[in-house]
Amino acid sequence: MPPKISTAQRRLIKEFQELTKHPTDGIVAGPVSENNMFEWQCLLEGPPDTIYENGVFEASLKFPSDYPLSPPVLKFKSEILHPNIFKDGTVCISILHPPGDDPLQYESADERWGPLQSIEKILLSICSMLAEPNPNSPADVDAAKLWREDRPKFERIVREQVLKTLKL
């Protein structure tokens, strides 16, 4: 008898099939192995007309066992300087915050995670975040300060990181 598939696994399988059938430009994502649908590897192309353009950034997505009720965690493996990415690579963006009201009242409940979100929406939101940082709600205070106070230096560092992603 085959093992019982959880609701989360069924949802992840369905989303993977959808991403495979209808790929999104600049985004590749899928499970690390067919035996574990809860860990994914992603490649995100830096958005055009930004300092991240031409970069290919590797990230991991880890899904909780109660997905889609709770959001996954996205963490960049590639080095990437950005106000909304913690120094360890973990992304801080509203769509990945737990559902419900924000205890700090910074974001509305409809900006936060909800079970109707999808992996594709998450990854598109990350690409939008790269293009338009929110330095007023930084995960990396040093990056936000550099972005505000010394944009040329910030851009030089990011361009160097982009070249590293290309192994140049």
CB 19 within 8 A of CB 30: yes
Determine which helix (DSSP H) or strand (DSSP E) holds 78, and give its type and residue range. none
CB 127 within 8 A of CB 26: yes
Is 127 marked active-site? no
Q: The sheet that has 73-76: what strands, in order across it?
A: 27-33, 36-45, 56-62, 73-76
The residue from 8, 37, 61, 92 that is catalytic is 92
CB atoms within 10 A of CB 85: 26
Burial class (CB in 10 A: 0-12, 13-18, 19+), 120: middle
Give the active site residues.
92
